[in-house]
Amino acid sequence: MLNVSRRSHCLLRGAQRAQSRYLSSSSRRLVSPPANDPWAKREAWRHSPEFGKVKQLGKMFPGFTLGAGAFGLYLAWDMMTGSSEKEHGHH
């Protein structure tokens, strides 16, 4: 008899999971997450502060600030020395 109750409990949990897949997004907020989620440890890293959206955006372009600063210095040097204006008369 014990095996039958375990089996029916597993079937019931499977039916509840299948039902939660078809709920709308507003109804899904009302459904509480399962108490024993086997994927919770594997999904926890997504919600840690080390992997926030702002930090990930900064890592997407690692040399952008250095490159923009170097380009700004180049433009400032070019404006101060006027080297680009001297070369326009030979063509």
Domain ranges of the chain: 1-36, 37-82
Q: What is the pLDDT of residue 39?
A: 81
User: What CA–CA distance (Å, rounded) separates 66 from 70?
Assistant: 6
Distance in angstroms (rounded) separating the CA atoms of residues 62 and 55: 11
pLDDT in tens, 10-64: 545 555 555 555 555 555 556 666 678 788 778 777 777 777 777 777 778 889 9
What is the pTM (predicted TM-score) of this model? 0.37
The radius of gyration of the chain's CA atoms, rounded to the nearest angstrom, is: 30
Instruction: Choose among 9, 5, 45: nearest CA to 17.
Output: 9
Nearest Cα to Cα of residue 35 among 20, 63, 13: 13
Q: Which amino acid would we find at residue 28? A: R
| CA neighbours closer than 13 Å in the CB half-sphere of residue 8 | 5
